[in-house]
Amino acid sequence: MLMAEIATRFLGCLTTEQWQAATYAFGDPLRLRWTYVPAPRPGVSLLGLNGEARKAAHRLLATALSRHAFAQVVTIMALEEVLDLDEQGRRGRHSDDYHLAVFGSPGADHWGWRFEGHHVSVTATVAGGRVEVAPLFLGANPHAVRYGDAAVVRPLPLEEDLARALVTALPAALREQAVVAEVAPSDILTGTSAVTSTLEPLGVPGGALATAPRDLLARLLDVYLDRLAPSLRGTHDPAAFSFAWAGPLSPGAGHYYRLQGPGLLIEYDNTQNAANHAHTVIRRPGADFGAELLAAHLAGEH
């Protein structure tokens, strides 16, 4: 498996001290803890890696993501330098403040890894040759860097534009059902907490939509599913998903939305910094960190 080969190559590029920082037992509780804010985190920092190790870290990340999602991630990482400039260096942010941790031995029956830093968290779990990527978080601060009215850099554009097009395309009665709050929450509602499969869907069901808005729902769902490498994407029926929106509909106002269907939860929030600070996440309720994958694999073994 290419993922295991690249992970092995990455570990082989490290010094002894870096290898010790990068590697954990598969059963280490840190495998199930993730965050998207600046904080101490497991793994070896990109800062200080030689060119070969840094390239292998990027290549491992790319095995889980599509080409355009990989481009989104490296753009988000580069935005740390813009944010640091805006903050006049007060928090010491830098584009190398990202860590890679490997849990277990690459190529073993079950193992995993996480690439993480401010506004990026990608967790991959491998069991029996199958891969699950979740949670998968991407954010951006600033959400857009503008020159006048034009966005010069905007790493998460479709995530906002398609959702707004969808909610505004709904007829009045369905829009009233879809808009669940006049004010958006200050962040994604699930945060980094465990998400169960019993979380109640909100908003309007996709099966109730006419052709045009259902097509927009399908395109929005694809934006998130297509973050994953094609072999890891999976399929989902848009009609089985609910869509909920919170906040005003006008561009520039703080807003939130949620897509929820069988085995999948997607959240988006852009309220902070005058609605110029976005958070998005893909979760697998009850099955984050490959929980169902591991359970099925272990059941098969026995």
Three-class SS state of 286: coil
50 belongs to a structural domain: yes
Q: Are residues 249 and 206 in the same domain?
A: yes
Q: Are residues 123 and 160 in the same domain?
A: no
- Positions in the chain short of pLDDT 50: 302
pLDDT for position 302: 47
298 belongs to a structural domain: no
pLDDT for position 200: 87
pLDDT for position 295: 87
Q: Are residues 262 and 195 in the same domain?
A: yes
145 belongs to a structural domain: no
Structure confidence by residue, pLDDT tens digits, 145-177 = 999 999 999 999 999 999 999 999 999 999 999
Helix axes 67-86, 51-64, angle to 10 degrees: 120
142 belongs to a structural domain: no
DSSP 288: G
Structure confidence by residue, pLDDT tens digits, 91-125 = 999 999 999 999 999 999 999 999 999 999 999 99
155: Cα separation from own chain's centroid: 13
Q: Are residues 121 and 195 in the same domain?
A: no
135 belongs to a structural domain: no
Q: Are residues 212 and 117 in the same domain?
A: no
- What is the phi/psi pair of residue 296, to 5°? -65, -40
Give how many domains the chain has, as a whole number: 2
For the chain, give me the number of helices (H) and strands (E)?
A: 9, 14
Q: Are residues 211 and 110 in the same domain?
A: no
pLDDT for position 1: 75
Q: Are residues 51 and 176 in the same domain?
A: no
Q: Which residues pair with 132 in a beta bridge?
A: 125
Number of residues assigned to the chain: 302
Residue-range definition of the domain harbouring residue 6: 2-127
DSSP 23: E
pTM of the model: 0.96
Which H or E run includes 265? strand 264-270
pLDDT for position 164: 98
Q: Are residues 109 and 201 in the same domain?
A: no
Q: Are residues 76 and 170 in the same domain?
A: no
147 belongs to a structural domain: no
Q: Which residues pair with 160 in a beta bridge?
A: none
285 belongs to a structural domain: yes
**Residue 263: closest CA among 231, 293, 230, 287:** 287
